[in-house]
Structure 1
């Protein structure tokens, strides 16, 4: 549990601590040798973090999503040279920030190096004259092509090495995206170049499920460490839920099954203390309810009243859950495997 200075001030007002004790304890916590590393693993997100990530996403986006045709003028050798130059700067900044125990800027700079890998491999293929068609790098994030595979495999290798060396959770972000891309391109290649939207939906659906399972495994393995599973969960949910939501069906039972899946996501998110499950599950549930309101119960005066009663009932259920949460949770966790029990306890303690 992270302890804030405001909590200490509240303890002073309640006469639990004196002002001197609160100040002494706060100084001790700030200077504790494990405090800085714990801060890097915590879920706190202040304006400083916003500046870190905003700047990092701009720098990473400049070399990925926002890369235009201007760099093509440098040719293959020029692209490789510039990418390596930027990569060396990124590694240098990673070491600089790491030595000063600035974990978030160090992780962002290390991620920047991983994000440069596809561009470097693209330039190398251009320089060697083995690029197979007239596609350019900016299409990498837009279209499915079999020859992106070299860039994706290289990114996974470099990302794995850098993640193993530096162990910053943000490094999982480009790895998660690349895994998603890889399955799309690989499936299209094995399917004879079929890039249809139906194929994309099916592949994205099962890829998302596999990524969620991978994230869960990582979550258990790193339950006492930093949150390495977050980005895998996020892109796994995006792939799975996005594909599921985009699938069309005229069957009301299929739509109801979609609603059940979203409700299961909400429950799973509450159990694992993963808000991303809850957010997308809630959005999916509202999509189904909107379908009921606009199609099945259109112009019905009873439907809004029923929904209001159900909503108030859920609030009442939340009150009962809060009242008996400890006893229910303790009984439920007794039947769980030890590793899963430890994961839930660890996640609950981080969310406090």
Structure 2
């Protein structure tokens, strides 16, 4: 059954509710409907644009990190993340534009592995030796990516605490997936490992993720 404003006006006319109550109810329902996620062209464009920005920033830094150096990468990624957060805060909290605001927070979180990579490149601190360029992060299984994944999960968790936007779980999901592979060389203390060892770590991580999900659902 669909209800429109004329139905509330009719209820006020026959004396079921007052005109003030009819207007208040209509405004409350309108605001509630506007907060619900909608699959429309505008939202598709928002998500598509966010994915382009996330991909472009990663590709840009992949090609140019040698010229910027570790400190430059860390500084640039941090500045971009801060700008995304400030604009996202304005859209989410002040203008009530949840989708673009939430996507900007997600974009800020996605700058975390790049910022941590720059910091590690700058300081030379790697859990298991220099893993190479940032391009390798999405290609090779290496224990030195571990801190980047932990940092991304923490950043996304903090963002979710203040902004309940479902897409913020995407960086957590990808980081947990990467971590299930990158933990293998750290746990076994070697760069060469068998598929059986990798399978053992992945299964253990999946079981742990289910427990984390139960805790998160209970907490929220």
What TM-score do you get using the length of structure 1 for normalisation? 0.51
Give the CA RMSD over aligned residues: 3.3
Q: Does residue 1:119 correspond to 2:138, yes or no?
A: no
**Residues 129 and 29 of structure 1, relative CA distance in 2, 3 Å threshold:** same
Q: What's 2:27 paired with?
A: 31
- Which runs of no fewer than 5 residues in structure 1 stay unpaired? 223-352
- SS at 1:68 equivalent: helix
| Structure index of larger Rg | 1
- TM-superposed deviation, 1:68: 2.9
Q: Do 1:65 and 1:141's aligned partners in 2 also have CA atoms closer than 8 Å? A: no
CA deviations 1:36-78 (Å, max 9, x no partner) are 5x644x4532222211211112222223477532233211121
Q: Do 1:144 and 1:195's aligned partners in 2 also have CA atoms closer than 8 Å? A: no
Q: Do 1:159 and 1:171's aligned partners in 2 also have CA atoms closer than 8 Å? A: yes
Q: Do 1:75 and 1:123's aligned partners in 2 also have CA atoms closer than 8 Å? A: yes
- TM-superposed deviation, 1:170: 2.2
Q: 2:170 aligns with which of 169, 173, 192?
A: 173
Q: What's 2:63 paired with?
A: 69
Q: Do 2:137 and 2:145's aligned partners in 1 also have CA atoms closer than 8 Å? A: yes
- Looking at structure 2, the residues matched to 162 and 137 of structure 1 have their Cα atoms a distance apart, in angstroms, of 24
- Tell me which moved more, 149-158 or 103-112: 149-158
Q: Do 2:152 and 2:172's aligned partners in 1 also have CA atoms closer than 8 Å? A: yes
CA deviations 1:202-241 (Å, max 9, x no partner) are 433443344344334434544xxxxxxxxxxxxxxxxxxx
Q: What's 1:56 paired with?
A: 50
What TM-score do you get using the length of structure 2 for normalisation? 0.77
Q: 2:149 aligns with which of 147, 152, 166?
A: 152
- Looking at structure 2, the residues matched to 39 and 208 of structure 1 have their Cα atoms a distance apart, in angstroms, of 36
Q: Do 1:93 and 1:106's aligned partners in 2 also have CA atoms closer than 8 Å? A: yes
- SS at 1:8 equivalent: coil
**Residues 34 and 70 of structure 1, relative CA distance in 2, 3 Å threshold:** same
Equivalences for 1:1-352 in 2 at 5 Å?
A: 7-8=2-3, 21=10, 31-32=27-28, 35-36=31-32, 39-40=34-35, 42-64=36-58, 68-98=62-92, 99-130=94-125, 132-133=129-130, 135-191=132-188, 192-222=190-220
- Looking at structure 1, the residues matched to 210 and 40 of structure 2 have their Cα atoms a distance apart, in angstroms, of 28
- TM-superposed deviation, 1:134: 5.5
